[in-house]
Amino acid sequence: MEGLGCFHSEGGMKVRVILLNGKPHQTNAGTIADLADELSPAPQTLLIEHNNIALHRSQWAEVTLQANDHVEVLRVSAGG
């Protein structure tokens, strides 16, 4: 993995490195919504914080990802 925060191209797609749950993560996601789709087949089960701000699901498509962004993702599950 190249240095944290860098952009590089893989097959013509722009790849950025973010911190996901405290660890470097390479992604070509442009928005939080794209990242949620990348991370989970059921993104409606996710709670996401972007740079220390909790996001409502309606905001995900509007928030763009930049190199070095800090993203925390929690998966909500029901059970007993």
Q: Does some domain include residue 1?
A: no
For residues 38 and 4, the model is more confident at 38
pLDDT at 79: 79
Domain span including residue 16: 7-75
pLDDT band for position 11 (50/70/90)? low
Name the domain count of the chain: 1
Q: Among 1-5, 15-19, 75-79, which is the least confidently predicted range?
A: 1-5
Indicate the pTM of the whole model. 0.83
**What tokens were used for 42?**
């059921």
Q: Does some domain include residue 52?
A: yes
Q: Distance (Å, rounded) from C-alpha 39 to C-alpha 56?
A: 17
Closest alpha carbon to 15 in 4, 72, 23: 4
- Which tens digits make up the pLDDT trace of 22-77? 999 999 999 999 999 999 999 999 999 999 999 999 999 999 999 999 999 999 98
